[in-house]
């Protein structure tokens, strides 16, 4: 059954309703490309800037001026090719417009922490492998794989070293 609040909105692009089921109504996504394209909403064609994500499960987001400014400030560049591969957290603000209050998608003015999903996993305990010393998580995974025959987290590597 169509939701009356979603009717008349463009279903091809990310909307605040797409975040309704997420914790804090926020999501962190990685930019794949930013392009201008023709968007048809309620029969009207407009050229909009759309931001596509590496996470294919999420629809592209139309960037308004506010979000463009946040994005440029966040990563100190206006070049779209430099923004590709960058992560942003998108949340919802209540915005007053035309005497009414609307939910608006907003890029948060903070650089998101790397998501744990992207960290390599320990072959022993299954936990995330974190950076250690001056090694990145991937380097720790490679180093322990070479030394112990499998990628290990700090704790399991210590235990393996003790057992050896």
Site residues (CB under 5 A) for Zn ion?
A: 122, 124-125, 153, 156
Q: How far is the CB of 127 from Zn ion (least distance, A)?
A: 5
Distances (CA, A) of 163 to 2, 60, 153: 61, 50, 15
Q: For residues 151 and 119, is the Cβ–Cβ distance under 8 A?
A: no
Q: How far is the CB of 150 from Zn ion (least distance, A)?
A: 10
Euclidean distance between CA atoms 127 and 123, whole angstroms: 8
Nearer to Zn ion, 17 or 143 (CB): 143
Q: How far is the CB of 149 from Zn ion (least distance, A)?
A: 14
SS3 for 5? coil
Nearer to Zn ion, 23 or 163 (CB): 163
Q: For residues 63 and 50, is the Cβ–Cβ distance under 8 A?
A: yes
Distances (CA, A) of 164 to 8, 139, 148, 159: 66, 21, 9, 9
Q: How far is the CB of 124 from Zn ion (least distance, A)?
A: 4
């Amino acid at each position: 059954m169509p939701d009356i609040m979603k009717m008349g909105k463009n279903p091809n692009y990310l909307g605040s309703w797409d975040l309704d089921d997420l914790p804090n109504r926020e999501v962190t996504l990685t930019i794949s490309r930013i392009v201008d394209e023709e968007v048809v909403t309620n029969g009207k064609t407009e050229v909009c800037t759309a931001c596509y994500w590496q996470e294919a499960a999420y629809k592209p987001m139309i960037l308004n001026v506010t979000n463009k400014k946040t994005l440029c400030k966040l990563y100190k560049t206006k070049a779209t090719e430099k923004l590709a591969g960058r992560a942003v957290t998108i949340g919802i603000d209540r915005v007053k417009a035309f005497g009414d209050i609307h939910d608006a998608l907003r890029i948060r003015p903070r650089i998101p922490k790397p998501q744990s999903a992207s960290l390599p996993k320990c072959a022993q305990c299954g936990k995330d492998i974190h950076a250690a010393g001056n090694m990145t998580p991937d380097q720790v995974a490679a180093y322990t794989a070479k030394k112990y025959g499998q990628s290990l987290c700090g704790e399991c590597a210590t235990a393996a070293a003790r057992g050896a």
